[in-house]
Structure 1
């Protein structure tokens, strides 16, 4: 049966940079994208077919927005799932499914899902407050994470020893064993309604030492073929066990003895897949579109080794963004700059990213570091 994707009204909850890059892919298929976001100056505002200002956690705002759409998806997990469940009951298509979004919204239920489904992950305890963290002092060193509210590096605290206990969160969360890892990697997988599954090659992620945000990404990952195959198999198993339709990013640790452990998952396009716009035959944003519209999934092969540099607002600067070094970077071969349309910067705010394509991995790493040194977002 011939499907007419162009006649589907596609709604997205969230109008940030992920939604912006999603729209840029949807335009190529003549698909109209409608956006709900609370920010009147959201990055999607100027390019969405329709922009509705409203709160993503408000039942009425989400429900009323969704009533006017045929298919609803997300670019952020922090949304009202009760409204989405009502929309599904009334015949709307919502991907990823509301129950899956709800499960992933809370890191506590995420970890329990891994345990119940024999998905390898670090040892953990569920804790309700700081007093419960103190009861597990013999489990230290550990990572204390908020169950909810944490995003972009927030809501995570390393508790090295008993002297650090007072840093623990006094809210429901998890206490995870601190992993002595060799590499942090991510695998993005996609699944459509027909059950077709595709995986992107694993990538290596290097994090900012204090902001806990990805600073650099390298593809392919710096791991053996055997570990790469194991990581892909785990990620595909996660999306199948969830029975999820859409795009899923699976963040993992590779331990020093070669174990692959799932850290966290995100049911949407992800920072670890931005390089795919230029580096892979099908970008993660196009793949998200294909999966939620039930199109055949696209080729995820890597065209060329690549790096991604996150452009974060410089520490100590807040206000209208000023970009330094752009002309110099634009003059470099194999360099692609993406700015997110955010007028104002603040410390560590994601303002854009740069993708670099280069056959030689050593040259690629040097160029990524050089670009990080040249390109600055100030105010």
Structure 2
């Protein structure tokens, strides 16, 4: 692989958002030639890559033509044309994660079936073809309805409390899931290269914004018992191995009040639950993803110390050219690292950046993060 790090390797990224941007920032160290496809002419990746192309990620011809002269393709979003990726794979272009993995994870119903077939613990579920099926569900109310396709960042998920909510439910094919009485939402990111080497990042704890259903506050490493952390990491490794995925995989899970772990969803790419690894771990999730897809030795994922990550979301009531309040005050706090995503326009709950706060004392790190959360506002 050595020659590939002198500009010979042409790596395509499907998606030009913040995940692609942070992946490029890491890939620059490998001196890789980066090509990006995104529908937004002002995508965050635009000025950082060697070649930027505007086009639909869902269009067969666009994705095929983008990839046909590249050596390797990876993704920063799952909603891509998998048929085109399969055609490219058949012609010798390396696609990591593999097209078959992306196809499975695009459909939350196929994800659930995969969990069931491979004895991976998950909540009880059933499929419905439209909202009329809600009334026939054998899952007790209240329950969760999730669109099988196109749900992301908290969209495509509804809590159905009573039969009155059936009228406003999703019409499209969905899964009905048992409502989990969880104590904490947790996540483990696992990496796997083509040799089958695997490595997990330490388990993290997450808090979600109740309105947007987005991760708002993340604590790393977890202070749960070693047995719980080891079990979560073991589940993540089993999933990666069962999938035979190459790249990184974020495994979102529920820790129940009874101490059980249930898998919620998968993301076969860099993920919001791993942003703190840039400053908080010996390798970032982005560096580890590149090592995995380049079939290099995986790096040490251990935490350097306590790291808290907060998302910078567009404030409610503001839409337009983004302005950032409180950055200077936040940067005056020790151990604060700001990452702005280069998005020109803000709107309510849009992910505009994140901040990582590190400190040798866990409580101080959390306290400083709460201060930063109150200081920085994204307005227009």
For this structure pair, what is the TM-score category when the shorter chain's length is used for normalisation? over 0.9
Partner of 1:193: 194
Secondary structure of the residue aligned to 1:364 is helix
Displacement of 1:312: 0.2
Q: Unmatched 5+ residue regions in structure 1?
A: none
How many residue pairs match? The answer is 379
Aligned equivalents of 1:140, 1:362: Cα separation in 2: 38
Aligned equivalents of 2:365, 2:17: Cα separation in 1: 28
Partner of 1:28: 29
1:71 aligns with 2:72: yes
Aligned equivalents of 1:69, 1:139: Cα separation in 2: 50
Partner of 1:366: 367
Partner of 2:129: 128
Secondary structure of the residue aligned to 2:356 is strand
1:95 aligns with 2:96: yes
CA contact (8 A) 2:309 2:357 kept: yes
Secondary structure of the residue aligned to 1:253 is strand
Partner of 1:4: 4
Partner of 1:335: 336
> Aligned pair in 2 of structure 1 residues 376, 84: CA closer, same or farther (>3 Å)?
same
| 18-27 or 159-168: bigger deviation | 159-168
Secondary structure of the residue aligned to 2:240 is helix
What does residue range 200-349 of structure 1 map to in structure 2 within 5 Å?
200-349=201-350
| 260-269 or 361-370: bigger deviation | 361-370
Deviations 1:37-95 (A, max 9, x none): 11000000000111011110000110001012100000000000000000010011000
Displacement of 1:5: 3.8
CA contact (8 A) 2:193 2:296 kept: yes
CA contact (8 A) 1:5 1:293 kept: no
CA contact (8 A) 1:143 1:157 kept: yes
Aligned equivalents of 2:217, 2:88: Cα separation in 1: 39
Displacement of 1:138: 5.5
TM-score (norm 2): 0.98
Partner of 1:154: 155
Aligned equivalents of 2:154, 2:308: Cα separation in 1: 21
CA contact (8 A) 2:139 2:178 kept: no
Displacement of 1:222: 4.0
